[in-house]
């Protein structure tokens, strides 16, 4: 068995254990394979294991990889910082964006989403532990951004994403609470459509699953250390 196949099986078992330990339904946490810096061949290998959803951080690299694998039924997630001059390519090639943090970017993605594609699935990245200089919208700015995204039919708002500082697992609970608060306070948000908490990486997936993560974003534990 290849190293990736072995890692993939271990990771699936690790997620299943985390679900069980947290009293969550088996299969309720999706695995997003973070393939930044990895080749198209590596993606192909993970695909052969059964992996379908892949996350990319850099627009150019992601678009090239997507173009290199047209025959595979993959779901591509953009998870990196997104500048306004790169929105067109993301709108045209990706299925999901996890790193939306500004209304201007939301409007551009909506305008540039080709009409022959289904709505872009979107999570808002929240700077949940409020670190200066970090990506993500501040919790206080969130309701206005949520309302703005809900008004754009080319975008479907799916949930929230965070990257807390290492060891701060309280941030996962805070993000889950933030989602609940939004469901109560914003008309037009439904729990079935606004169903995603994108949180947890190789080092902290157990804490994220315990707090209610529905999608963990894993690079290192699947593909090894990045050089």
Ligand X SMILES: *Cc1c(COP(=O)(O)O)cnc(C)c1O
Minimum Å gap between C-beta 77 and ligand X is 10
Minimum Å gap between C-beta 225 and ligand X is 8
Comparing CB distances to ligand X, the nearer of 164 and 219 is 219
163 binds ligand X (CB under 6 A): yes
- The Cα–Cα gap between 12 and 159 comes to 23
Q: Any alpha helices (H) in the chain, and if so which ranges?
A: 3-21, 40-49, 59-68, 87-93, 103-112, 142-150, 170-185, 205-211, 220-223
Residue nearest to ligand X (CB): 219
- The Cα–Cα gap between 33 and 54 comes to 5
Tell me which residues in 196-225 interact with ligand X (CB under 6 A).
201-203, 217-221
Comparing CB distances to ligand X, the nearer of 82 and 91 is 82
E-assigned strand segments in the chain: 30-34, 53-56, 75-78, 96-100, 120-125, 155-161, 196-198, 215-218
Size of the residue set binding ligand X (CB under 6 A):
13
43 binds ligand X (CB under 6 A): no
172, 180 contact by CB (below 8 A): no
Comparing CB distances to ligand X, the nearer of 12 and 36 is 36
Comparing CB distances to ligand X, the nearer of 60 and 220 is 220
110, 155 contact by CB (below 8 A): yes
Candidate list 16, 57, 61, 102; residue touching ligand X; CB under 6 A: 57
Site string for ligand X, 73-92 (x = CB under 6 A): ------x-------------
- The Cα–Cα gap between 75 and 32 comes to 9
Q: Which of 187, 222, 185 is nearest to 53 (CA)?
A: 222
Minimum Å gap between C-beta 184 and ligand X is 28
Minimum Å gap between C-beta 9 and ligand X is 17
168 binds ligand X (CB under 6 A): no
Structure tokens at 9: 């099986």
- The Cα–Cα gap between 82 and 88 comes to 11
Minimum Å gap between C-beta 165 and ligand X is 13
123 binds ligand X (CB under 6 A): no
172, 211 contact by CB (below 8 A): yes
Comparing CB distances to ligand X, the nearer of 57 and 173 is 57
40, 68 contact by CB (below 8 A): yes
66 binds ligand X (CB under 6 A): no
Binding site for ligand X (CB under 6 A): 34, 36, 57, 79, 163, 201-203, 217-221
């Amino acid at each position: 068995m290849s190293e990736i196949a072995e890692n993939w099986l271990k990771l699936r078992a690790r997620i299943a254990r985390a679900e069980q330990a947290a009293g969550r339904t088996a299969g309720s946490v999706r695995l997003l394979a973070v393939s930044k810096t990895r080749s198209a061949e590596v993606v192909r290998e993970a695909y052969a294991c059964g992996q379908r959803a892949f996350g990319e951080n850099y627009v150019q690299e992601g678009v090239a990889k997507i173009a290199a694998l047209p025959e595979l039924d993959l779901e591509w997630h953009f998870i990196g910082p997104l500048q306004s001059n790169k929105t067109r390519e993301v709108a045209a090639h990706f299925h999901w964006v996890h790193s939306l943090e500004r209304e201007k970017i939301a409007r551009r993605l909506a305008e540039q989403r080709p009409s022959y594609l289904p709505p872009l699935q979107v999570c808002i990245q929240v700077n949940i532990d409020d670190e200066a200089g970090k990506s993500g919208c501040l919790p206080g700015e969130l309701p206005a951004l949520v309302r703005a995204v809900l008004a754009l039919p080319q975008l479907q708002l799916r949930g929230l994403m965070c990257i807390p500082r290492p060891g701060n697992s309280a941030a996962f609970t805070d993000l889950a609470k933030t989602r609940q608060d939004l469901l109560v306070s914003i008309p037009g948000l439904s729990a079935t459509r606004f169903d995603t908490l994108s949180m947890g990486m190789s080092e902290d997936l157990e804490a994220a699953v315990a707090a209610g993560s529905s999608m963990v974003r894993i690079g290192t534990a699947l593909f090894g250390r990045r050089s």
